[in-house]
Amino acid sequence: MKTLNTLSCGILLTIPLLVRCEPDEPPPKWEYYNPLSGETLLCDWCAPGEFMVTECTQTTVTQCRTCAENEYTEHFNHVRECFRCRECLKAHERVLLECTPTNNRECVCEDGFFLVAEFCFLHTKCPIRYGVVQRGTPWTNTKCRRCSSGTFSNVESSIAPCRNHTDCGTMGLCVTRRGNRGVDNVCEICPDYVTTATPKSEDETTVPTAGSTEFVSAARQEDNATLKHVTVTEVRWEPIVYVTIAIVIIAAVIVAFCCVVHTFRRRRADTSQGLPPLQTTLAGKTPIVSFVGIPKGKESPPTESDQVDELFETHHAHTAAAAARQTTSARRNPLAMTRTSSPTVPRLRRTKSRPNDDELRRRPANLDDVELIVGDIGGAWRQLGRDHLGFSDGRLDGFQSDYGLQLREVVFQMLRTWIDERRGDVTLGKLVDALSKVGKPELAEALLEQTS
């Protein structure tokens, strides 16, 4: 009984395979109406790879013929002629499956191209700093992704992924330039202060001496690993170096002192000529303006423009008086006039008044404002970007990784991105407030002063 059950199970499992392996069964016969006899007949179908020549009659079956070269029929049919196979003639197209009497020719894009609306386009090349995460196929395009920290891509390619930075330490070398997302680490032989390298056996020991430092580094050879004891000689400066530095500092102090004395003497000479400095006059003197012909009690207070005009008139009056005194002195003593030239009277220019602070704060921030502050933010740039400009730590790490130790360039690129991404919502006032909140109020005030 057990053997019979096993045989029955084997037969049941084999039946689906037999059915699946059998060829396609023809559909039921199709009805054909004969217009000559007025009869309706049931005719057989032509097999795939054939076409019908004549319909069936009461005494004959359907007459079929095999498709000619470069023609096909895929299914049971009673068509009068076969279908013509597709031609792979488009640009960057190749044959995937040749034409046979039972199937059409199949075309596909060449390697490096993919199909879009029946046309083949070149796979996209990932730019530098981006790597391929999924290669393109004849039907899909390349997928790119920005290289993560510790990896890089320095080529434009449709097949190259991001690669890990070279580990210089495993090769016994030193990193001379750290890589980023677009450049690999640069490895070179360690600096010249490593003066001696004497191979030692594993059993030998070395006692460090005074004035030197010893360290042990492992170097793998072709067959076995040996230990190298390297003595690093201490670098000592000669006294002449300190003397040279002291001389340079003293010379710089003397030059600075001479410049200060010269500037002080020039200002003192200008004051002795009787010419009041315009800045002092503007800052400390309030002119008295009389209004003629205006009834008492209806005088309007003098405006800032009127005060500036009166100050300029007063200054020019002093200048004219000084010139007159010099002319009189020249008439009395012509010889002295020839020996000393008359001092040059500085010509004053009217400066544009500073705009209202509120109007200045509402002005859109630009790259000129950024250039004024990028060199003085220092270590507060990360707090500025994260807490007040809306950047995440990941994006701040990206700026720092892309530009390395160039802090000025890192800050510039961060502020430029902030202006570009939030165009219309970036004002000078917001930048000034953000600088004050990160502990840079003097930088914020200097920005307002320089942009006014």
Note the pLDDT of residue 403.
Answer: 81
Tell me the mean pLDDT in the region 192-207: 46
Tell me the mean pLDDT in the region 55-61: 91
Residues spanned by the domain of 222: 197-205+213-236
Residue 166 forms part of a structural domain: yes
**Judgement on whether residues 54 and 139 belong to the same structural domain of the protein:** no
What percent of the chain is modeled with pLDDT above 90?
38
Query: Which CATH number fits the domain that encloses residue 161?
Result: 2.10.50.10
Residue 48 forms part of a structural domain: yes
**Judgement on whether residues 48 and 127 belong to the same structural domain of the protein:** no
**Judgement on whether residues 370 and 434 belong to the same structural domain of the protein:** yes
Read off the tokens for 271. Answer: 């004051």
**Judgement on whether residues 366 and 445 belong to the same structural domain of the protein:** yes
Q: Would you say residue 337 has pLDDT above 70? A: no
Residue 293 forms part of a structural domain: no
Q: Kindly report which listed range (72-76, 157-161, 433-437) carries the lowest average pLDDT score.
A: 433-437
Note the pLDDT of residue 146.
Answer: 96
- Of 172, 225, 224, 229, which Cα lies nearest the Cα of 200? 229
Note the pLDDT of residue 362.
Answer: 82
Note the pLDDT of residue 353.
Answer: 45
Note the pLDDT of residue 302.
Answer: 52
What percent of the chain is modeled with pLDDT above 70?
65
Final residue of a domain: which of 157, 190, 223?
190
Average pLDDT, the chain: 75
Tell me the mean pLDDT in the region 271-299: 45
Note the pLDDT of residue 306.
Answer: 52
**Judgement on whether residues 219 and 166 belong to the same structural domain of the protein:** no
- Could you tell me the pLDDT band of residue 447, with boundaries at 50, 70 and 90? confident
Note the pLDDT of residue 1.
Answer: 42
- Could you tell me the pLDDT band of residue 136, with boundaries at 50, 70 and 90? very high
Global pTM reads: 0.36
* Measured CA distances, 123 to 91, 143, 147, 191 (Å): 14, 9, 19, 45
Rounded to whole angstroms, the Cα distance separating 162 from 31 reads 66
**Judgement on whether residues 362 and 400 belong to the same structural domain of the protein:** yes
Residue 332 forms part of a structural domain: no
Final residue of a domain: which of 51, 85, 103?
103
pLDDT tens per residue, range 362-377: 888 888 888 888 888 8
Instruction: Point out which residues pair with 200 in neighbouring strands.
Output: 227
Q: Kindly report which listed range (82-96, 141-155, 175-189, 391-405) carries the lowest average pLDDT score.
A: 391-405
Q: Would you say residue 201 has pLDDT above 60? A: no
**Judgement on whether residues 361 and 443 belong to the same structural domain of the protein:** yes
Q: Would you say residue 401 has pLDDT above 90? A: no
Note the pLDDT of residue 324.
Answer: 59
- Between 24 and 151, name the one with better pLDDT: 151
Tell me the mean pLDDT in the region 75-103: 95
- Could you tell me the pLDDT band of residue 357, with boundaries at 50, 70 and 90? confident
- Between 450 and 126, name the one with better pLDDT: 126
Specify the number of domains making up the chain. 4
Q: Would you say residue 332 has pLDDT above 70? A: no
**Judgement on whether residues 97 and 118 belong to the same structural domain of the protein:** no
Output b/e per residue, 239-252; b: 16+ Cβ within 10 A: eeeeeeeeeeeeee
Residue 150 forms part of a structural domain: yes
**Judgement on whether residues 115 and 186 belong to the same structural domain of the protein:** yes
Residue 242 forms part of a structural domain: no
Tell me the mean pLDDT in the region 419-446: 85
Q: Would residue 172 be called left, alpha or beta, if left means φ above 0 and alpha means ψ between -120 and 50 degrees?
A: left
Note the pLDDT of residue 232.
Answer: 43
Residue 363 forms part of a structural domain: yes
Tell me the mean pLDDT in the region 79-104: 95
Rounded to whole angstroms, the Cα distance separating 92 from 138 reads 11
Note the pLDDT of residue 371.
Answer: 84
Terminal-to-terminal C-alpha distance of the chain: 106
Note the pLDDT of residue 273.
Answer: 55
**Judgement on whether residues 49 and 127 belong to the same structural domain of the protein:** no
Q: Would you say residue 117 has pLDDT above 90? A: no
Cβ-proximal residues to 309 (8 Å cutoff; 6+ apart), any chain: none
**Residues 299 and 370 sit within 8 Å (Cβ to Cβ):** no
**Judgement on whether residues 220 and 177 belong to the same structural domain of the protein:** no
Q: Would you say residue 276 has pLDDT above 60? A: no
Note the pLDDT of residue 20.
Answer: 38
Output b/e per residue, 201-219; b: 16+ Cβ within 10 A: eeeeeeeeeeeeeeeeeee
Residue 428 forms part of a structural domain: yes
